Amino acid sequence: MMHFKKRPALSLLKGCAALALACASAAVLAQSTGWPNKPIKLIVPYGAGSSPDVIARIVGEKLGPRLGQPVIIENRAGGGGNNGTGLVAKSAGDGYTFLISTNGPLVYNTVLYSKLSYDPFTELRPVVLAGGQANVCAVRADSGIHTLQDLVAAMKKNPGKFNFASTGVGSLSQLGVELLKVKTDTYAVHIPYASSPLAILAILQGDVQFACVPAVAVIPQVKAGKLRTLAVSTAQRSQLTPDIPTMKEAGLSGIENLAWMALMAPATTPTDIVQRMNQEINTVLAMPEVREKLHAQYMEPIGGSVDSLQKFMQQELRVMTPVIKRTGVTID
């Protein structure tokens, strides 16, 4: 069951002030080596406008001046996030290439794929858990579907006539719907897209009938009167979208999840550089103007230590492995 109401790992993400002190010596060490002395590349394995792209640009804008070098955002979309994630996993750990990726390529795909071109647990090293957000299930405003139960009823009445969009094969936006299908004994065809804006465009164009994707792509179209929200994926209502019911409140329990984004580095990246990046990003995430910008994009900054992210990813793997197997989804 996708249930993240009580996450032991998330309790480890507190105490950034203490973390900053612990990382001070690492920061001095990194500075003494002359790092960084050229621009830093931050790879986003999804398209422009996707949630990782948005948070990368918001954080990167403040991170660059703190490091004294530009942070260049490079989009490498494709393969449900695997292409860009794998690229960084195979990159030299020289401290000038980093990654901001998501649940799927960093954890879930190790279960979904019989063979990946990279191992996120051995070829990448955690830097910091940057942020998280709820997925919002939505349909076109003129669809005649007003509730989650309406959607389920429509799929049962019209088998084989519903398609749903996701942000990529193996993404949480796919797995959440796959579990919904299992629990309601319904069927819909999965159509993956390179980003949440493209998934939303597919709904608007009528290529798919619904999607459960990050709120940042959904809410503007809701405000424009083009989409209708049905439910939010988190166990509790999001403070950023308080009017949208949870899946349980909408009549379907046991589908609760958080879409998260983490900064990673090639496994051979020096520890002092990783710790310096962790310290600086935690500082950036704590800035009121950064938090305000992230909240405007329906994202919650998280932060925390390198070790807490490593434990968080391992916990996600333990929790999600049986969930993925329950959906029956495999990718080869």
- Work out the number of other CB atoms within 10 angstroms of the CB of residue 190: 16
**Alpha carbons 266 and 311: distance in angstroms, whole number:** 18
Q: Is the peptide bond before 65 cis (omega within 30 degrees of 0)?
A: no
The SS3 of residue 48 is coil
* Confidence band of 125 (pLDDT split at 50, 70, 90): very high
pLDDT at position 80: 82
159-203: per-residue pLDDT in tens? 889 999 998 888 889 999 998 998 899 999 999 998 889 999 999
The yes-or-no verdict on residue 91 having pLDDT over 70 is yes
Q: 186, 152 in Cβ contact below 8 A?
A: yes
**Alpha carbons 3 and 323: distance in angstroms, whole number:** 10
The SS3 of residue 254 is coil
**Alpha carbons 254 and 319: distance in angstroms, whole number:** 13
Q: Sort strands 259-266 and 97-102 into parallel, antiparallel or unpaired.
A: antiparallel
Q: What is the mean pLDDT of residues 38-64?
A: 94
Q: Which residues touch 6 (CB under 8 Å, ≥6 apart)?
A: none
Q: 282, 303 in Cβ contact below 8 A?
A: yes
Q: What is the mean pLDDT of residues 50-56?
A: 92
Q: Which of 110, 109, 100 is nearest to 131 (CA)?
A: 100
The yes-or-no verdict on residue 52 having pLDDT over 70 is yes
pTM comes to 0.79
Q: For the chain, count helices (H), then strands (E).
A: 12, 11
